[in-house]
Copies of this chain bind each other. A is one copy, B any other.
Amino acid sequence: MPSTVRRDSVRDPRSPKKAKSRSSSFDLKSFLDSAGLGRKVARFAGKETIFSQGDPAKHVIYIQEGGVKLAVVSEVGKEAVVAILGPGDFFGEGCLAGQSTCMASATAVAPTTVLVIEKAVMTRALHEEHEFSDRFIAYMLERNLRVEADLIDQLFNSSEKRLARTLLLLARYGSPGHQATVLPKLSQEMLAEMIGTTRSRVNFFMNKFRRLGFIQYDSNHDLCINHSLLSVVLHD
């Protein structure tokens, strides 16, 4: 069984407005369709594996609907969640940089539909289609900021703060801008893997946050977080 380890990344705090910017004037789906890239649509049920760490890396995948978890497993069997992605996100793009195998496993976290794009086709499209290339660059820049923010979070903050931040980001992801937000079901085990700590630690802080009124939940009911109160944790 996997045990520890982390990573949130769901929506970067440093690019606040971005939430909807992907649905700009350019219609990616139509472009992909017309370019013959969109033919390969694939659907996955929740918890279904899309690809596994070590598989040959041959495709870039674009999420149309649903959600995907990227995770890696260490030599000693610890699991870490590198990112949780949603509609509009790409993954598997490592193959464009010469990666021959997948560095992470991708698993659907909900019923998900994706476009599967051959590496060669993707490369050609990037060469030939300006707008597509622009969009992809913008996406990679954003993604980079997100990962960097996660890294910095990891460097600076204690696991208590990382948990608070992750919950806030997940909440923002769900429904932007409100004071209190309900989160989809998420096990403490998975939170631990996102944050890079142990389940017992997550449990400890979740109970602490609940005791202090920062969050609410009854066993197996949805989690509800109070943005402003929880934010306090981040600033000591």
Chain B residues, Cβ within 8 Å of A72:
152
Chain B residue with Cβ nearest A97: B141
A15 within 8 Å of B (CB atoms): yes
Contact of A154 with B156 at beta-carbon distance under 8 Å, contacts A15-B97, A144-B144, A147-B144 already known: no
Give, as a whole number of angstroms, the nearest-CB distance from A42 to chain B: 23
Residue A138 at the B interface, CB < 8 A? yes
A119 nearest CB across to chain B (Å): 12
Within the complex, what minimum Cβ distance (angstroms) separates A72 from chain B? 6
Name A18's closest neighbour in chain B (CB-CB). Answer: B98
Which A115-153 residues sit within 8 Å CB-CB of chain B?
126-127, 130, 133-134, 136-138, 140-145, 147-148, 150-152
Let me know if A74 is at the binding interface, CB within 8 A.
Answer: yes
- CB-defined interface of A38-79 with B at 8 Å, one 1/0 digit per residue? 000000000000000000000000000000000010111010
A151 to B143, CA, bound (A): 13
A82 within 8 Å of B (CB atoms): yes
The smallest beta-carbon distance between A232 and chain B, in angstroms, is 13
Residues of B within 8 A of A11 (CB): none
A207 within 8 A of B: no
A133→B132 CA distance, assembly (Å): 12
A165 interface hit (Cβ, 8 Å): no
Which residues in window 4-33 of A have CB below 8 A to B? 5-7, 14-15, 17-18
Determine the chain B residues whose CB is within 8 A of the CB of A133 once the complex forms.
Answer: 126, 133, 137
Residues of B within 8 A of A150 (CB): 151
A15, A127, A140, most chain B CB atoms within 10 A: A140
Chain B residues, CB < 8 A from A203? none
What are 24 contact pairs spanning A and B, CB under 8 A? A14-B99, A15-B97, A15-B98, A17-B98, A75-B235, A76-B236, A80-B155, A80-B156, A82-B148, A94-B141, A97-B138, A97-B142, A103-B145, A126-B133, A126-B137, A127-B130, A127-B134, A137-B140, A144-B144, A147-B148, A147-B151, A151-B151, A154-B155, A155-B196
A93 within 8 A of B: yes
